[in-house]
Amino acid sequence: MIRGKLAATYSLMALAASAGLFFLGTGFAPIPALTWLAPLPILWLASRVSGRAAYSVAFLAYLLGQAGQIEFFLRTPSVPLPIGMLIVAGSSLLFGLVPLLFRALVRRGRPTVAAFAGPALWVAVLHLFTLVNPSGIIWPLATNQAEVPVVVQLASVTGAWGVEFLVLFVPCAVAALLSPGADARARLRGGLAAVLVCGLALGFGAWRLAGADDGARQAGAGEDGSLRVAVLAATRYQWAPDAASAGGRDLVRSYADRIAALPGGVRTVVLPEGAFGTDETSLPTVVGPLAEAGRARGTDVVVGVVHQAPGLKYNYSVLLPADGTKPVYYAKWHFAPGAPFRKGTELAFSRDGLVGLANCMDLNFPDPSRSYGRAGARLLAVPAADEYGNGWQHSRMGLLRGVESGFSLAWSAQWGTPVISDPWGRVLASADTEGTREPFVTAVADVPAGPAGPTVYARFGDWFGWVCVAMTLAALLATRGKRPSARTGESRTTRGSGDGVSRAVPERSQA
């Protein structure tokens, strides 16, 4: 173990490197490759300095790397500031525990176990946190890989937790191979485990994408196997403008005109969350013109409406069928704490059962997405709001939900990134409401039918999160075994046990 000025120098170098890589590899405009590299300097350092230094450097590196998230939580009204700061501080405190557990196992001669234990701890605690967090989760690492299809296919089996695990496992495995005291057998064992895990994950991704391409070629664009979808959004943020006002009526007409101008063959068009604010009197002034425009084009229209009923307030996603039948109302399930809305509990579908309705923050949670996947929905139509620069991140979180449960996604955001993705997580079309001077943006794509039957994740849910809980408990028990040395983490026993690490008798123990 290094000490003194050399330890301080290495610590500062690791802090700067990891903080910079986390800043560039996570957040609202990440570089996916850097996400895999960001933890490596900290993990390399962990087994070479004291536990206190390893934890402190890891905590600060992650906290500094989340500077963009801190700035967002200071500005957004959607997440109460105390919860936002708790998310940032809590995730930084949690990340500090990853190299601490990694260090404890490496210094006990278990580098291969350490490679699995670090990411398992991270996923386990995040998974348990989501069970009580009223804001759900946008995965800190997995979301940054959303546009790397070969990686995100793993989510169809493990949920996005598997992607979260994999992104942290790779640097843990590399750091374990480079750890001091590991002999050739330990390095061979750890290397084979890393190659096996990564090979299986990426091989599965390539195989699943090959099947997707075959299915798309067989269906062909515009034939029975595909569904043409559009997302449409105004570029001026207007949360629930009064539909009865002059501005509200003008906005309804503008949306109706743009629905009328959609390309031929569009079966479903999705408008943003909170596109209009209505009451019992003004609701028909929204539903009527939009439904009429949809009927003229043979297009189902999905629109987000904040509706005030007598004594109740709803955040609706409303489907207006092209055949003129009765509108379908979906009441949003999940809200930020203190939101004055009646929570929904029911799924809602198009008449043919192929299109399900959800609403923005609903996709921060496993349900209703999993329930739609099990019910056979081919497309999830999601009116969303988004705001203040988080549009890409939130829409890609929705994309991952589509991979998890096997449906395409049509995400239409007020202030963000309207996107259409297929069940394999490939972005088929997108737009940006913040980077244009046009009054409206539109994206259109043909989405394929998707995989036959529910995905493994849709059937069994967050099973991998619970596996990580079990792995973490086992790893913690492993740290109660052989005592590490003060110098290299060698055990009191002699050669040949555990991972094949040479072990000498220490002068005294430093856990």
Nearest to 115 by CA among 214, 22, 189, 208: 189
Domain check: are 267 and 393 in the same one?
Answer: yes
Tell me which of 427, 448, 469 is where a domain ends.
Answer: 448
Which pair of structure tokens corresponds to residue 265?
A: 């063959």
| Residue 386 is assigned to a structural domain of this protein | yes
At 176-186, the pLDDT tens digits run 999 887 777 88
Q: What is the CATH number of the domain that holds 355?
A: 3.60.110.10
Domain check: are 369 and 425 in the same one?
Answer: yes
| Residue 443 is assigned to a structural domain of this protein | yes
| Residue 484 is assigned to a structural domain of this protein | no
| Residue 490 is assigned to a structural domain of this protein | no
Q: How far is CA 452 from CA 48, 204, 423, 460, in A?
A: 50, 17, 11, 16
Q: Is the model's pLDDT at 365 over the cut of 70?
A: yes
Q: Is the model's pLDDT at 498 over the cut of 60?
A: no
> Read out DSSP for 323-351?
T----EEEE-----TT---PPP----B-T
| Residue 238 is assigned to a structural domain of this protein | yes
| Residue 471 is assigned to a structural domain of this protein | yes
Q: Is the model's pLDDT at 496 over the cut of 60?
A: no
Domain check: are 380 and 322 in the same one?
Answer: yes
Average pLDDT over residues 474-498: 60
Average pLDDT over residues 405-409: 96
Domain check: are 184 and 251 in the same one?
Answer: no
The Cα–Cα gap between 289 and 270 comes to 15
Domain check: are 31 and 110 in the same one?
Answer: yes
pLDDT band at residue 452 under the 50/70/90 scheme: confident
pLDDT band at residue 484 under the 50/70/90 scheme: low
Residues 115/190, Cβ–Cβ less than 8 Å: yes
Domain check: are 167 and 294 in the same one?
Answer: no
| Residue 453 is assigned to a structural domain of this protein | no
At 272-307, the pLDDT tens digits run 999 999 999 999 999 999 999 999 999 999 999 999
| Residue 501 is assigned to a structural domain of this protein | no
Domain check: are 282 and 203 in the same one?
Answer: no
Question: How many other β-carbons are positioned within 10 Å of the β-carbon of residue 264?
Answer: 9
Which pair of structure tokens corresponds to residue 458?
A: 């849709």
pLDDT band at residue 189 under the 50/70/90 scheme: confident
Token pair 């959607």 is at which residue?
78
441 phi and psi angles, rounded to 5 deg: -125, 150
pLDDT band at residue 509 under the 50/70/90 scheme: very low
At 205-241, the pLDDT tens digits run 999 999 887 655 444 444 447 899 999 999 988 999 9
Token pair 């909170």 is at which residue?
274
Which pair of structure tokens corresponds to residue 306?
A: 């904040």
Domain check: are 395 and 468 in the same one?
Answer: no
Chain centroid, CA 11 distance in Å: 31
482 vs 315: which has the higher pLDDT: 315
Q: Note the pTM of the prediction, 2 decimals.
A: 0.89
Which pair of structure tokens corresponds to residue 84?
A: 């936002």
The Cα–Cα gap between 90 and 73 comes to 14
Peptide bond into 368 cis (omega under 30): yes
Average pLDDT over residues 123-152: 94
Domain check: are 20 and 115 in the same one?
Answer: yes
292 phi and psi angles, rounded to 5 deg: -65, -45
Q: Is the model's pLDDT at 491 over the cut of 70?
A: no
Kindly compute the dihedral angle of the four CA atoms of residues 469, 472, 477, 483, in this order, to the nearest 10 degrees: -170
Chain centroid, CA 476 distance in Å: 27
The Cα–Cα gap between 180 and 29 comes to 36
Domain check: are 385 and 252 in the same one?
Answer: yes
pLDDT band at residue 485 under the 50/70/90 scheme: low
Average pLDDT over residues 452-467: 95
Residues 357/317, Cβ–Cβ less than 8 Å: yes
Average pLDDT score, the chain: 89
Q: What is the pLDDT of residue 7?
A: 87
How many domains are contained in the chain? 2
Domain check: are 124 and 44 in the same one?
Answer: yes
How long is the chain?
511
Token pair 């001669």 is at which residue?
109
Q: What angle do CA 137, 350, 295 make, to 5 degrees?
A: 125
Which residue range is the domain that position 133 belongs to? 4-213+460-478
Q: Is the model's pLDDT at 78 over the cut of 90?
A: no
Secondary structure in 3-state letters for 136-199: CCCCCCHHHHCCCHHHHCCHHHHCHHHHHHHHHHHHHHHHHHCCCCCCHHHHHHHHHHHHHHHH
The Cα–Cα gap between 416 and 236 comes to 11
Average pLDDT over residues 329-338: 91
Chain centroid, CA 176 distance in Å: 27
The Cα–Cα gap between 291 and 268 comes to 12
Domain check: are 297 and 235 in the same one?
Answer: yes
Nearest to 374 by CA among 460, 462, 464, 463: 460
Nearest to 243 by CA among 303, 295, 292, 323: 303
Nearest to 176 by CA among 199, 162, 194, 159: 194
Radius of gyration (Cα) for the chain, nearest Å?
25
At 320, the amino acid letter reads L
